[in-house]
Amino acid sequence: MIHCEGLVKIYKSADLEVVALQGLDLRVEQGELMAIIGNSGSGKSTLLNMLGGLDKPSAGKLTVDGKDLLTFREKNLVKYKRESVGFVWQNNARNLIPYLTALENVELPILLRGKRRKARALELLDAVGLSHRVMNRLSELSGGEQQRVAIAIALANEPRLLLADEPTGSLDTSTSNQVLDLFRTLNRTIGITIVIVTHDPMLARKVDRVVQIRDGKTSAEMIRKAYYSDELAELAAESVQKEAESHIEYAVLDRAGRLQIPAGYLDNDSFKDSNKVRVEMEDGRIVLYPSENRKTS
């Protein structure tokens, strides 16, 4: 579904250049539910904007659903944003029109495509658990209900890719869990590919793959050991949380042989005083040693 290779994004303002992405590589398969995490300024929101056709890369390769976004003209981008991708934003003001009802908000993007809108809108609101709130205006809906309406709007034109930028950032823990469970249900039932940018640590418990971006590159991936449903059954049986054991973490090795070592691994005094390490192959393993002559594990 998504293939990024050597993706670079440079923002220029007067005499200032900011490099938001520095050769990022990423593959996302059709039907995946995955999250992108990273500190502020790491480049994750920039990546999401480019996947959605809201921004163009400065260099590299970017294909989504077989479409080469680097070659798209404005007309192609408009069609892509209207038909291939759906957005859910943290700020509901970007998703919803406050003076319309929930039903009217979902009908609007369907109307723009000239389709029968009411039946489709009712179907979507039912899918997100809001069939009893269709005639309510936004002021009559809770934050979680508003976000559910936003998800229904994002699905209105049957996109193949759903992008969510901090979708639970303004919600409490209980409501966040409901929204994330909804993403899982939609992913499972209609097979849509979902990419979520988040700071929410609970999200890693509910997705199959988590990609961490650091300094404009993918630095690590966490991949789920078992299906989430199987894990829930196990947790219920044992009545114990196993957050640290749900995923396996991998450092990402790029095509040039570079990788980013997790910061905690370099806190050892042996690695603090130098930016050099000695690399050796031992028994089929790549081992890093401090730059001193002695071997220190």
For the chain, counts of helices (H) and of strands (E)? 8, 13
* pLDDT at site 246: 64
Domain extent listing, the chain: 2-84+159-259, 261-297
Sheet holding 59-64, edge to edge: 16-28, 2-13, 59-64, 67-68
Q: What is the CA radius of gyration of the chain?
A: 22
* pLDDT at site 136: 93
Q: How far apart are CA 153 and CA 112, in angstroms?
A: 12
Q: 263 Cβ partners below 8 Å, 6+ apart?
A: none
Sign of CA dihedral 80, 86, 91, 97: positive
* pLDDT at site 288: 79
- pLDDT tens string 11-51: 887 778 888 888 889 999 999 999 998 887 788 889 999 99
What pTM did the predictor assign?
0.79
**Three-state SS at 271:** helix
* pLDDT at site 22: 86
* pLDDT at site 249: 73
Instruction: Please name the fold of domain 2-84+159-259.
Output: Rossmann fold (3.40.50)
pLDDT in tens, the chain (297 residues): 999 999 999 988 777 888 888 888 999 999 999 999 888 778 888 999 999 998 888 899 999 998 899 888 888 888 888 888 999 987 776 778 988 999 999 998 888 766 667 888 898 999 888 999 999 998 899 888 998 999 999 998 889 999 999 888 778 888 888 888 888 888 988 899 999 998 776 676 778 888 888 888 887 777 776 655 555 555 455 544 544 466 677 777 776 677 777 666 766 667 767 777 778 888 888 887 777 654 444
- C-alpha distances out from residue 46 to 5, 66, 215, Å: 15, 21, 12
* pLDDT at site 195: 94
Say if residues 92 and 145 touch (Cβ distance below 8 Å). no
Q: 249 Cβ partners below 8 Å, 6+ apart?
A: 220, 221, 222, 262
Sign of CA dihedral 204, 256, 285, 265: negative
Helical H segments across 219-279, by residue range: 228-238, 269-272
